[in-house]
């Protein structure tokens, strides 16, 4: 089954609003969680990542929230901009496994 | 900056034919990966390698072979291409220290007819 799941294939947010992208995982041994961003016909690039020893990490407009008991993590993008329009892929792995498992992706559209 | 280059950028192959996708990295990274992207499935790991001359199976290895002749090069081989292997393939590399940041190539769009 899908070990890392993004239940929303798409999300539309108004410019200036908060985009909230969600990801659920099954393996409670996962200890590394990441969000990648992908523009059409481009390669994914790492946005932000967090280890399981923290519940939250901020980087500018981006914040990752980790809920280990709920096996859930999310990405919040404040002051969303049209250039944030892209596919966002969540990913997780178990330390040292060298196997980063990706979710299906959520297509975010920020409308002006 | 990390550099991972894939070739070809796109390819059309016939069912039953052999296809080789190539990946070259100049990052001095030990780990290299092959993922495929399909609509609704995100990125799925096919094969990976953490040292030259050794490869490991990922989550969907059936129908694929991999080869890592050197630290810089990692190939994905489809001995008998099938329609279901039509997808976009991404190569990636990461360093040895356990930092899991993956640096991806631009992708290869493979169409099997």
Q: What is the predicted pLDDT for the residue at A99?
A: 83
Residue B58 burial by CB count (10 A; 0-12/13-18/19+): exposed, middle or buried? buried
Token couple for A91: 């990913």
Label residue B53 left, alpha or beta by phi (over 0 means left) and psi (-120 to 50 means alpha). left
Q: Is the pLDDT of residue B14 over 70?
A: yes
- Residues of chain B found within 8 Å of residue A43, distances taken between Cβ atoms: 90, 104-107
Contacts of B26 (CB under 8 A, 6+ apart): B3, B72
Contact A44 B50 (CB under 8 A): no
Beta bridge partners of A27: none
Contact of B34 with B91, CB cutoff 8 Å = yes
**Which residues from A are below 8 Å from B when comparing CB atoms?**
4, 6, 9, 32, 34, 36, 41-46, 49, 89, 93, 95-96, 98-105
Contact A43 B40 (CB under 8 A): no
Contact of A35 with A48, CB cutoff 8 Å = yes
Q: What is the predicted pLDDT for the residue at A103?
A: 94
Q: What is the predicted pLDDT for the residue at B99?
A: 58
Q: What is the predicted pLDDT for the residue at A98?
A: 72
Could you list the pLDDT tens digit for every one of the 112 residues in chain A? 568 999 899 999 999 999 999 999 999 889 999 999 999 888 999 999 999 999 999 999 999 999 999 999 999 999 999 999 999 999 998 876 778 899 999 999 999 8
Distance CA A49, CA A91 (A): 9
- The runs of H, that is alpha helices, within chain B are none
């Amino acid at each position: 089954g899908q070990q890392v799941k993004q239940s929303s294939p798409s999300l539309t947010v108004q410019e200036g609003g908060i985009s909230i992208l969600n990801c659920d995982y099954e393996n409670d041994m996962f200890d590394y969680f990441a969000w990648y961003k992908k523009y059409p016909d481009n390669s994914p690039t790492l946005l932000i990542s967090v280890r399981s020893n923290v519940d939250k990490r901020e980087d500018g407009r981006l914040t990752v929230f980790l809920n280990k008991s709920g096996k859930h993590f999310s990405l919040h993008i404040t002051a969303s901009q049209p250039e944030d329009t892209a596919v966002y892929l969540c990913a997780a792995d178990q330390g040292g496994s060298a196997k980063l498992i990706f979710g299906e992706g959520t297509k975010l559209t920020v409308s002006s | 900056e990390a550099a991972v280059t894939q070739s070809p950028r796109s390819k059309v192959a016939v069912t039953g034919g052999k296809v080789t996708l190539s990946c070259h990295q100049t990052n001095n990274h030990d780990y290299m990966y092959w993922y495929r992207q399909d609509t609704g499935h995100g990125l799925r790991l096919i094969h990976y390698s953490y040292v030259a001359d050794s490869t490991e199976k990922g989550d969907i290895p059936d129908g694929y072979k991999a080869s890592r002749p050197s630290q810089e090069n990692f190939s994905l081989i489809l001995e008998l291409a099938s329609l279901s292997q039509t997808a976009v393939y991404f190569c990636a590399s990461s360093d040895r220290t356990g930092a899991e940041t993956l640096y991806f190539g631009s992708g290869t769009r493979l169409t099997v007819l």
